[in-house]
Amino acid sequence: MCRGRTSEQLAQKVALSTTAIQRRIKRLRDERVIVAEQARIDPKVFGRSLALIVSVTLKIGRAATNAQFKKMMNEAPEVQQCYAVAGEQDFVLIISVKDMSEYEVLTHRLFHSNEAVQKFQTTVVMEAVKVGLQVPLD
């Protein structure tokens, strides 16, 4: 629900019935305003203590090359987020791995062996200060 609120709490806040709130939430899902509801899990609980931000530049900016790269990123479970961006880089990735050894293996699989990748740059996350996908509604 809205920032961890239940239907009942929302109903009280906006003076509607719980049923009315649930109908409105269903409509928002049906209209794809709400595209997903997710639990945020601490990766460290599963031994994934290393978060990385990786910028990737492709050699060739063709649609087929981009599509192939996007498919590869969607299939890699270590890639939590992938953004196609404007600027010097073509993509920015958020990656979660257990340690630097696992990341090294991943770089060979995703980048070094990929002829379309011109270069990639890695930034190691030292502390997650804010993590979220909330959209400001105010």
Q: What is the pLDDT of residue 1?
A: 46
In a domain? residue 137: no
Q: Are residues 17 and 31 in the same domain?
A: yes
Helix runs in the chain, H state only:
7-14, 18-30, 63-75, 100-107
Q: Which of 16-30, 66-80, 96-110 has the lowest mean pLDDT?
A: 16-30
Q: What's the one-letter identity of residue 19?
A: T
Q: Are residues 94 and 52 in the same domain?
A: yes
* Three-state SS at 34: coil
Q: Are residues 3 and 63 in the same domain?
A: no
Q: Are residues 111 and 50 in the same domain?
A: yes
Q: Are residues 60 and 108 in the same domain?
A: yes
In a domain? residue 135: no
Q: Which of 15-29, 35-49, 88-102, 108-122 has the lowest mean pLDDT?
A: 35-49
Mean pLDDT, range 26-30, rounded to an integer? 90
Q: Are residues 63 and 14 in the same domain?
A: no
| Residue 26 domain boundaries | 1-38
Report CA-CA distances (Å) from 98 to 3, 106, 134. 29, 11, 27
For 12-21, what is each residue's pLDDT tens digit? 888 888 888 8
Q: Are residues 88 and 56 in the same domain?
A: yes
pLDDT tops 60 at residue 3: no
Number of structural domains found in the chain: 2
pLDDT tops 90 at residue 52: yes
For residues 104 and 97, give the distance between their C-alpha atoms in angstroms, rounded to a whole number.
Answer: 10
In a domain? residue 111: yes
